[in-house]
Amino acid sequence: MRHVGPGRVVHACGLLLVVVVALFPFYWMVASSLKQQTDLLASPPVWLFTPTLANYADIFADSHVMVAVLNSLLVASCTTALAVLIGTPAAYALARFEFRGKADLWFWFISNRFISPIVLALPVYLLARQVGLLNTRLVLILIDLTFNLPIVIWICTDQFRSIPPDIEQSARLEGADQFNIFWRIYLPLGLPGVAVSAIFAFIFSWNELLYSLVLITSQALKTAPVVATNFMSGYELPWGKIMATGTVIVLPVTIFALIVSRHMVRGLTMGATK
Amino acid sequence: MSFLQLDHVSKHFGGLTVVDGVSLSADKGEFVVFVGPSGCGKSTLLRMIAGLEEISAGDVSIDGRVVTGVAPADRNVSMVFQSYALYPHMSVRENIAFGLKMAKTPKDQIETRIADAARILQIETLLDRKPRQLSGGQRQRVAIGRAIVRNPKLFLFDEPLSNLDAELRTQMRVEIAKLHRELGATMVYVTHDQIEAMTLADRIVVLRAGRVEQIGTPTELYDTPSSIFVAGFIGSPKMNFLAATITGQDSNGLRVGHPAFAGGEIHVRPTTNRPAPVGSAVTVGLRPEHLTLGGADPLLTLTVDFAENLGGATQLYATGPGGAAVVLMVPGRPPVTPGEVLAASLGAGQIHLFDGSGAAL
């Protein structure tokens, strides 16, 4: 039998702590969504309770939640599609071509993520009002695209850089033009990176709250995270409903992430070793 | 006019000159090998012919047409890369068909050409596999298949065998030679392996620091190297060099002195008209395989350091007075022991002589 040293025990305890800290809020959200209001407000907290689906029944009866989930789906899907459509050719150019201003462009993409979104909230609101885009799904897609495009470009550029240049040169010698090299060589070979960046874009767009809150006031256009916060109004705090809505919002993305996690790890580690 | 012509071709990277005014030509159907140490510019030169590297100065012509500014795809050349450069996500069949598809070749023709190439290279059973399912040798065949299927005017090989093990390398070398004979195509082949160069080439171009050191048939380079660099590069084991001095001149040629020579000096007939004043420093070159043990007229007196038994031959490492370190390649297994003093004479070939600048005398 292998000897278990104290170092390994400390390591395991550390890992366990990280897992507990990471997963506990998630557990608490799901558990709370299955509790009745009395169990929810009990102090000290109730660990053993009779689960109820009443909160879910309530939120699904409320058409706002379903509409909001569909809005989120639409915005996140469009953002992801556009980010990949625009980001991958940009990444290819950054990975393989030398042009003036390349370093500045690259820095601009990175610096996009330096800025806290809240700093830009007011200017973006004024701008959107000026061009008549307030209360449209388009404005959310555009703003999500602004923040997600750099992620797609970063990840894909790195992925494309790991493709040996010999392969491109061979294709060039065989008569492939720039588009064919991108379409037939780079895109299929960079698929893990493209998939990872698409997943990130989708998740970020799906979870985006601040701009949805600022730019959308029409109930019919609100996204899922906004609707979840809408329950916090008046004198009542219906924790059960909030948690059930939260679970409904998080679940699809979590399932999606679990399914593609193997791909994600491959994509993130690709290019790390030659 | 030559089929492939390079006219004062240069390549600069910033302030660094990688290829410096190279001029050479190759006839149709000729197998030309560029050989030289790492960093001599041989691969860059090949890539300039392919169009993958911009030419800083000079011109490249293929089949009578200047292609200096022509895109790689329009030069009608095929290249086999050191890394094979197969498309990993495509099957062998798709890999071979890629160039033909790009050229919008009719489907039935693509199929015929793939079948022909697969038959020549004996890869018929591999057509539906992905590159990762192939061994190094099989990948190399696919890379060659991809090159021949397009019927190019010129084949370029960039160190195609350097990723293979010794046995496979020998096998593929023979196959490339066969392929050249079968296709009768013009081929330019880059290698740092002088054995590949000697066995494959019709003509060898020896490159050094971006310049052509010598161009000639393998036999010419072996028998009459123009410089000490070429003499040391061509031939295995490497030629022995002894730093000697011209001691005089008579009707038998130049008298060259070194303490390791039996009698202190030897006669060498120069092959060029370069000046060799008495007292000047020269280098004497002796091929290991040209030296024999004993003999009526010994050339060197040496002390054996150790012997390597190669089976059919023995490689002897010996030293002589005046810092001479000499390798001898002798047939069979002569009974020599380390520390033994022996005489060596010239069995075949000739004594090479180089002046202070390294040029052959």
Contacts of A47 (CB under 8 A, 6+ apart): none
pLDDT band at B154 (very low <50, low <70, confident <90, very high): very high
Dihedral angle sign, alpha carbons of residues B294, B300, B306, B307:
negative
Q: How buried is residue B342: exposed, middle or buried, by Cβ count under 10 Å (0-12/13-18/19+)?
A: middle
Which residues of chain B does A274 touch, with a Cβ-Cβ cutoff of 8 Å?
Answer: none
Cβ proximity of A169 and A116 under 8 Å: no
For the domain that residue A110 is a member of, what is the CATH number? 1.10.3720.10
Q: Which of B78, B82, B86 sits opposite A173 (nearest CB)?
A: B78
For residue A37, tell me if it sits in a domain: no
Nearest CA distance, B31 vs chain A (angstrom): 21
Strands B4-13 and B16-26: antiparallel
Q: Which fold has domain B240-354?
A: OB fold (Dihydrolipoamide Acetyltransferase, E2P) (2.40.50)
pLDDT band at B267 (very low <50, low <70, confident <90, very high): confident
The number of folded domains in chain A is 1
For residue A106, tell me if it sits in a domain: yes
- Summarize pLDDT for A18-77 with one digit per residue, the tens: 999 999 998 999 999 998 888 888 888 888 888 888 888 888 887 788 888 899 999 999
The pLDDT tens digits along chain A (274 residues) read: 566 788 899 999 999 999 999 999 989 999 999 988 888 888 888 888 888 888 888 888 877 888 888 999 999 999 999 999 999 999 999 998 888 988 898 888 878 778 888 888 899 999 999 999 888 999 999 999 988 999 999 999 999 999 988 999 999 999 999 999 999 999 998 888 898 888 889 989 998 999 998 999 888 899 988 888 877 766 777 888 888 888 888 887 887 777 777 666 665 554 433 3
Query: Considering only alpha carbons, which residue of chain B is nearest residue A185?
Result: B87
For residue A251, tell me if it sits in a domain: yes
CATH architecture assignment, domain B4-233:
3-Layer(aba) Sandwich (3.40)
Nearest CA distance, A157 vs chain B (angstrom): 19
CA-based radius of gyration for chain A: 23
For residue A118, tell me if it sits in a domain: yes
Cβ proximity of A160 and A96 under 8 Å: yes
Its ipTM equals: 0.81
- Summarize pLDDT for B200-227 with one digit per residue, the tens: 999 999 999 999 999 999 999 999 999 9
Q: Which of A164, A172, A184 sits opposite B73 (nearest CB)?
A: A172
Which residues of chain A does B160 touch, with a Cβ-Cβ cutoff of 8 Å?
Answer: none
H or E segment at B353? strand B352-354
Range of the domain at A98: 56-269
Which residues of chain A does B102 touch, with a Cβ-Cβ cutoff of 8 Å?
Answer: 174-176, 180
Q: Where are the domains of chain B?
A: 4-233, 240-354
For residue A72, tell me if it sits in a domain: yes
